[in-house]
Structure 1
Amino acid sequence: MADSFSLHNVLDKFKLCLSDNKEVYIQYYIAGWRELVSFMNSLGSVFYFISSDVVKKIQILDNYLTDENGPQYLTIQSMVKYELDNKLVDLTKGGSHPESGCRTLLRLHRALLWLQLFLESLRTSTEESKTSALCSEAYNASLAQYHPWIIRKAAGVALCTLPGRDAFFDVMNAGSHQDVITLLGEALPQISEVYQITQDLYAKNNLLDLP
């Protein structure tokens, strides 16, 4: 996974995510996530508590894409139908499919909301804004409820070490800070649409609380 990051690549991958009828291609979804992991890695180890788990989840989904049932995992919609039809999803704890595609993608889905909220707050922030506060607010509004206390505590400490706003804009490799703000304005609606389509699909199939 490349360490270099460009916000342009994130936009490109999430644009490719959606089919003409608004199905979400898993191949491009995880490609977009690989770019977002590069973004987190560009800032050092501060996001390791999230990125390390994301990398594992990406690998699980990649394995599904390349195995004999790969065509069933072309889109999130086809994956959900296939796994539910074949009882491959653990709807309660202690089942035999702890790494189902549906559960794995749900973990990425939750983390995507955190990044979406954080990047949006960065986009609308001012020079006086503290990135640690922005990121903590995004974390508390999304991922925190799914993490045990010890992870939340560690996250709180880690986020206090975040660099300033300028450093975030610099690692995005998208030109001037105004260029970054403009590009975020293009990328975030793409990410948001992918998130909302996934959210609605999971809600419709009662999959939002998979253990």
Structure 2
Amino acid sequence: MGVKSKAAAAIVVLLLFLGSLWIRGGLDYHWDSCLKGYNQVNTLYNSSEADGAEGPQVIEGCPGQTFQVSLLHSHLLAAPAYTSDVLMQPYLSSWDELVRFMEALGPMVGLISKEIESKTSIIRQLALLSEGNPEAELGPDIHSINSVGGEAGTKNDKEASQHAGAYHSVRSMIWVELNRGLVDFDHQTESGCRTLLRLHRALLWLKLFLEKLAETPAASRLRSPSELCREAYQSTLANHHTWFVRRAAELAFIAMPERGFFFRLVCVQNQGELNTVLNRVAQAIGEVYDRTQKALEENNMLDLP
């Protein structure tokens, strides 16, 4: 076997090894990345293809594709609720589409999605376990606790979610887990809040990557998706990862498809159309991210171990 063949084989073995750790959650401290899909019938947090699409479908679907940017956009639009909250069901549905997005980029990049798939599963399982538990129901002042949105806004939030379940929204989950002593600020636990923080960090990475992919620079040369994704990663998730995981992530980014693949993935013909679609998605992600950031920050949860 030649030197190049040995190097390629070593990279594949390394990524497969990391993938197995992501599946088991063994790199939980280090890789806080992305996602997979699920189907809703009438079970809590099982979403159908139409679930969460409360707003208009402003982006057209792509026939024959597993990843649907139109569904991702509609789930993101459905997630913001009340004055400063995020509904968990469309939030997790958004991650399901982002999993499909990652998996569409090839097996190397798709390995990254396993850790986020495990994260969304944790929150869904916690939600199912809390069903029928009277102690997990929201108190009357759920959205007024640690909220700076004003008396009128919190009153609307309170009335809208007074009878919702514990994992109905980001703020309801935070309130319930804090009051039940499920959040540990010093040690690692599988609380919904800690799990949400990991998803939250990964969402910023993807938002930044999509924004960079949508940029039209003054110079004629468009940078490669691989370069843009690596740059977005270095300014976000890399800050929470070890040297070993950062090197493995960059190996995965090398295998990312060229820009033309993204045209086909979201059913556009050129960079201008790609800019329009991705900017809409990034803007919707930004609204969800900012609301989640505010809720976590108000409860001192941005550094949960």
Q: What is the TM-score normalised by the length of structure 1?
A: 0.91
RMSD over aligned CA atoms reads 1.8
In the TM superposition, what is the alpha-carbon distance from 1:180 to its structure 2 partner? 3.0
Q: Equivalent of 2:254, from 160, 183, 190?
A: 160
Q: How does 1:23-62 map to 2 (within 5 A)?
A: 23-62=85-124
CA distance in 1, matches of 2:78, 2:292: 15
In the TM superposition, what is the alpha-carbon distance from 1:53 to its structure 2 partner? 0.3
- In terms of fraction of residues, the more helix-rich structure is 1
Check the 8 A contact 2:209/2:229 in 1, yes or no: yes
How many pairs are equivalent? 207
CA distance in 1, matches of 2:117, 2:192: 14
Whose relative contact order is higher, 1 or 2, with alpha carbons under 8 Å and at least 6 apart? 1
Write out per-residue CA displacement over residues 2-36 of structure 1, whole angstroms, 9 at most, x where no aligned residue.
Answer: 87011111110000101132310011101000000
For 1:147, the equivalent position in structure 2 comes to 241
Check the 8 A contact 1:116/1:191 in 2, yes or no: yes
For 1:187, the equivalent position in structure 2 comes to 281
Check the 8 A contact 1:14/1:28 in 2, yes or no: yes
For 2:148, the equivalent position in structure 1 comes to none
Check the 8 A contact 2:106/2:256 in 1, yes or no: no
For 2:52, the equivalent position in structure 1 comes to none
Structure 1 residue 121 corresponds to structure 2 residue 207: no
Check the 8 A contact 1:24/1:194 in 2, yes or no: yes
Q: Equivalent of 1:111, from 189, 198, 202?
A: 202
- Counterpart AA for 1:105: L
CA distance in 1, matches of 2:299, 2:263: 38
CA distance in 1, matches of 2:78, 2:225: 30
CA distance in 2, matches of 1:125, 1:43: 22
For structure 1, the 5+ residue unaligned runs are: none
**Percent identical residues:** 38
For structure 2, the 5+ residue unaligned runs are: 1-36, 39-64, 138-164
- Counterpart AA for 2:208: L
SS of corresponding position for 2:102: helix
CA distance in 1, matches of 2:292, 2:283: 14
Report the structure number with the largest CA radius of gyration.
Answer: 2
SS of corresponding position for 1:72: coil
CA distance in 1, matches of 2:116, 2:265: 20
CA distance in 2, matches of 1:78, 1:139: 30
Check the 8 A contact 2:86/2:170 in 1, yes or no: yes
SS of corresponding position for 1:47: helix
CA distance in 1, matches of 2:255, 2:110: 13
